Amino acid sequence: MKKKLCLLASAFYMGAALAAPSGGNSAKSNTGLEALPTSNDFYLYPIQFIFDSAGKIQTVNIVNTSKLNLNAQINLKEYKQDFRNGKLVESMADILATSAVRPGVLITPVVLTNIPGAQKQIVRILATRQESDIELSYRASVKSLTPTSLSKSGTIMEIGYTVPIFVLPKNIREDYQISYVSEKNTAYLKIANTGNVHVAFSKITANNVVLKLDQSRLLAGKWEMVALPTSISKSLATNKKLVVEVTKFKLTDFSNTMIESRIITIN
C-alpha cells in the first residue's frame, strides 16, 4: 500500500516538475515580474549526459514553449577549465571540422528548423570514442536562430543553453582531495580532483558555513582554491579543526547525492 502511495505521489511530483518551467508566455510570472514580450522561448532536458561506453545513444528533448516556430542550432564544443586571475573558470573551445582528433561524440541533427509552438524535437547524441584512462568532456551549445524578419528592428535578445556531455574512461578513478592552505594571511580550502573523471559538487560546507565555489563541477585533474570566510579563519586560531562536509552527485546517477565528511586538523 505504502509503495503504491509512494508511486502515486512520485507520479504527481514528476508531473508538477515537468510543468514547472512553463516558458515566458504567461501574463505574469510567479516572481511578480510583469512578463514582457519574450524572445523565442524554449527549454531542454535532460541537462547532462554521461556515456559509460562508446556506441551508445542518448536523446535531448528540445521543447518550444513559444507560439512561434523555433529554429535552433547546436554546436559541439570542448569543455575545458583554466585557472585565470586566481580563479578556476570555464572555457569552451570550438571543435573545428579540420581538427586532427575527431570528437568523441556526434550530435544529430545540429540544425533544427520550424519546431512548431508547444512541440518538442528530439536530438540524438552518439558516443563514438572512449579512452582508456581519460574522460572526454564536451558541451553542446543550443541557441535559437533569430528570425530574419526581426533582425532589422533592433538588437535581438536570444536565449541559449549549454549541457555537459561526458564519455567516461574504461578505467574509472574517482578521487578528490581537500586540504587547508594559508597564503598571504588568507585561509583557503584547496579542492582538487585527483581522479580521471569529473566530480560534481552540490554543496560544500566548512564548519557548517556554505562555501562559494568557482566551479561546482571539477573536471579531471583540476583544482580550485576557495577562500574561507573570515569568521572561520579567525576561529581556526583557537579551534584547530576544520570540519568539511561535501555533498556530491554520484558519477553515473546525478539524481542521487552522497554526503562525505572530512576533518582537517590545522597544524
Partner 1 sequence: MLHMNKNILIKVGGLLLACSIKLAWSEIISQNFNTKLTVDSTCSLEGMPDVVDVVTSLNTEVRIPLSFSIKCNFDDSITLIVDSPQAKTDGYFLVDDKGNLLPYSLVINSVIQTKQKQTVVQPNNAYQVDLVFPGTTMKNVAGKYTGVISFVINY
Q: Which of 51, 64, 65, 206 binds partner 1 (CB under 8 A)?
A: 65
Q: What distance in Å separates the CA atoms of residue 60 and residue 47, rounded to the nearest whole number?
A: 8
Q: For residue 228, give the C-alpha cell.
A: 574561507
Q: Identify which of residues 9 and 243 has a Cβ nearer to partner 1 in the complex.
A: 9
For position 57 contacting partner 1 by CB under 8 A, the verdict is: no
DSSP structure class, residue 43: E
160 binds partner 1 (CB under 8 A): yes
Cα–Cα distance measured from residue 228 to residue 209, given in angstroms and rounded to the nearest whole number: 9
Q: Of 6-14, 117-125, 191-199, 237-245, which segment contacts partner 1 by CB under 8 A? A: 6-14
Indicate whether 23 belongs to the interface with partner 1 (CB under 8 A). yes
Contact range with partner 1 by CB under 8 A, out of 107-115, 160-168, 180-188, 222-230: 160-168
Report residue 109 as a C-alpha cell: 541533427
Q: Which three cell numbers stand for residue 169?
A: 574512461
Q: Using CB under 8 A, which of the segments 103-111, 122-130, 138-146, 235-243 binds partner 1? A: 138-146
254 contributes a contact to partner 1 by CB under 8 A: yes
Least distance (Å) from partner 1 to the CB of residue 21?
A: 4
Query: Is residue 106 exposed (0-12), middle (13-18) or buried (19+ Cβ within 10 Å)?
Result: middle
22 near partner 1, rule: CB under 8 A: yes
Asked if 153 interacts with partner 1 (CB under 8 A), we say yes
Nearer of residues 35 and 57 to partner 1, judged by Cβ:
35
Q: Binding to partner 1 by residue 1, rule CB under 8 A? A: yes
Q: Does 122 bind partner 1 (CB under 8 A)?
A: no
Q: Please enumerate in sequence order all residues whose Cβ is within 8 A of that of 130, keeping only pairs 6 or more positions apart, or say none.
A: 51, 53, 54, 104, 136, 167, 168, 169, 170
Burial bucket for residue 26 (CB in 10 Å: 0-12, 13-18, 19+): exposed
Reading phi first (left if > 0) and then psi (alpha if -120 to 50, else beta), residue 154 is in left
Residues that bind partner 1 (CB under 8 A): 1-2, 5-6, 9-10, 13-14, 17-18, 20-24, 26, 29-33, 35-48, 65, 89-90, 94, 141, 143, 146, 150-164, 202, 212, 216, 249, 254-257
